[in-house]
Amino acid sequence: MARTLTTGSPWRVILAFSVPLLIGNVVQQLYQVADAVVVGRWLGVDALAAVGATGSLIFLLLGFAWGLTSGFAIPTAQAFGAQDAVAVRRSVAAGATLTAVTSVLLTLLAPMVARPALAVLQTPAQLMDDAVVFAQISFLGASTMMFFNFLSAIIRAIGDSRTPLVFLSLSCALNVGLVVVMVGPWGWGVAGAALATVVSQAVSVLLCLEFVRRRVPVLRLTRHDWRLTRHDLTRHLRLGLPMGFQASIIAIGTLAVQVRLNELGADAVASYTTASRVDGLAIALLMSLGLATSMYVAQNHGGGRPDRIRRGVGQAVWMSLIGAVVLGALLIVFGSSLVRLFVGDGSDGVVHDAALMLVINGASYGILAVLFVLRGALQGLGHTMIPTVTGVVELVARVGAAVVLGAIFGFVGVVWSNPLAWVGAVVILVPAYLRAHRELARMPVTPAVPTPTAAIPVVGPHDGGMVVDAIVTQPIALPQQPSAAPRGHLIRVLARRRSRRDRARSR
């Protein structure tokens, strides 16, 4: 349901809004954690490394598709805000058509390029076969991921953010159960881990479709809704492609990191993969606060409350910094114990390197906290150039660090690619937001008026410290009551007409 953030204590409303996003982010990471724990404990370090070796390739292709389908829901939110039910259904039909076409292309082409792409990434020979199997099954099931993300996005577009979270949680629980059974008793290896995710997401798609059929009449399509024009399709592509390219830019950085890790050997891949799973759960909190800040700023900007924006962003930074300190301390103290949950005995080298990565990242969470909040604030103000530039800077810093520092310092040099990328982005974000902060101080303040908004939090694939995140807002058109002045004027006109008719009859 729609949520208003233009009244109340800023830090309270930001924190309250971030909780569902946090739950969704954590649940999303549990997919990868479940695979890593089961594969690492039951199949061994090499199998875990094989799954990790596919991460950057899957992130590149499916990340683009994820952002693409999320963008298709933006016209749906706009049509819903305008209370145009016909446009809502046509938008859903256009998005579904483009999602289906993209799914077919990925399903047909991506499995064929899996082995050559992994070879280009210099995947170690002992990991190649398992990595190819995991990647091919993931690509063959790409349609389930795409349609689940698309259906979740259009349900959020009409103001319902809870239902997608419920389905995502059910999918995660099913995934955990299936991966245990398929990898353990059934002995399907890494293929079972990939298939468990595909099946669980397919079940979620069916649940979403049944929910729409039973509970959401505005999204039920008729035969006429499928008569799409070129304008319908191009409009959705104009919005979806930029979000897909944002994911691709980030994914290119992960490819450079993956190449350097593959050159360092299977243990380095396993260490990075394990630490990334733990790191992803910790980052989910910081990312959720950034998304909530974006929504908060967007609503208050639309409501003419620059004073609340200035106060709220400052409070969000402090909340995020406190969370970063707590999370970083936990990883530094308990990093080794957490890593041992993923790998069995005899993997002390993997545990040491993964714990070292958690220490380096955890000590840098303060920088990431500022990055998420300030980038979210600028996005909420409608600034698109600076967030895009920071993505490019992260790419350059991550690739440069992975290539140069990885060649000099090995695994430790690759690990430093994430904090250095965060620093590069923050160096640009801080002065950009300070300028916006000063501009907000000069803006007039209008009386507080609640601004209901349909929010579409978009959280894409996560790989280490690299995420696809965005938030799209669209004001909901509320029914307007006629003002007292026109109503009184109408009554006076009718009274004069009645008086003239009475006088004419008396004559």
Backbone angles phi, psi at 463, to 5 degrees: -140, 105
pLDDT for residue 3: 54
> How many Å apart are CA 362 and CA 356, to the nearest integer?
10
pLDDT for residue 500: 58
Q: Is the pLDDT of residue 56 over 50?
A: yes
> How many Å apart are CA 255 and CA 347, to the nearest integer?
25
From the list 245, 258, 490, the residue with the least C-alpha distance to 388 is 245
List CB contacts of 195: < 8 A, sequence separation 6 or more: 137, 141, 178, 182, 188
Contact 350, 270 (CB under 8 A): yes
- Token pair of 373 as six digits: 């909040």
Q: Is the pLDDT of residue 487 over 50?
A: no
> How many Å apart are CA 361 and CA 274, to the nearest integer?
13
pLDDT tens-digit series, residues 117-140:
888 878 888 888 888 999 899 889
pLDDT tens-digit series, residues 323-339:
999 999 999 998 888 88
Amino acid at 109: L
Helix axes 142-157, 162-183, angle to 10 degrees: 160
Contact 394, 387 (CB under 8 A): no
- Token pair of 133 as six digits: 């199997």
Q: Is the pLDDT of residue 2 over 50?
A: no
> How many Å apart are CA 264 and CA 258, to the nearest integer?
10
Min mean pLDDT across 121-125, 183-187, 202-206, 460-464 is at 460-464
> How many Å apart are CA 138 and CA 117, to the nearest integer?
15
Q: Which residue has the tokens 């191009």?
A: 234
Instruction: Tell me the range of 101-105, 181-185, 473-477 where mean pLDDT is highest.
Output: 101-105
> How many Å apart are CA 493 and CA 495, to the nearest integer?
5
Q: What's this model's pTM, rounded to 2 decimal places?
A: 0.69
Task: Tell me what the mean pLDDT of segment 232-249 comes to.
Answer: 78
Backbone angles phi, psi at 400, to 5 degrees: -60, -45
